[in-house]
């Protein structure tokens, strides 16, 4: 995202009505980055290089309406 990082994006959308749950996908693995994203409104966070696909799917499924899950 030119001129805007993920944290800036979270700031920009914070407080907007009808937002879907936001799960951050990042290579930043420090706990302070995870906490920062969650404090800015993210409901989940995973480190791309350290997270198996099955764990990502499980996290996403937590926030999907039951009827859309397969």
Report CA dihedral (56, 48, 11, 66) to the nearest 10 degrees.
-10
Could you tell me which residue, 69 or 47, shows the higher pLDDT?
47
C-alpha span between 52 and 50 (Å, rounded): 7
Whether residue 2 contacts residue 29, with contact meaning beta carbons closer than 8 Å, is answered with: no
Angle, alpha carbons 20-23-27 (nearest 5°): 155
- pLDDT, mean of residues 33-42: 97
C-alpha span between 3 and 40 (Å, rounded): 18
Could you tell me which residue, 58 or 70, shows the higher pLDDT?
58
Is pLDDT above 60 for 68?
no
pTM of the model: 0.81
Is pLDDT above 70 for 17?
yes
């Amino acid at each position: 995202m030119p001129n805007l990082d993920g944290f800036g994006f979270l700031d920009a959308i914070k407080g907007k009505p009808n937002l879907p749950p936001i799960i951050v996908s990042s290579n930043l693995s420090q706990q302070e980055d995870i906490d920062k994203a969650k404090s800015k409104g993210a409901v989940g966070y995973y480190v791309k290089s350290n997270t198996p696909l099955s764990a990502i799917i499980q996290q996403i499924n937590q926030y999907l309406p039951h009827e859309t899950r397969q």
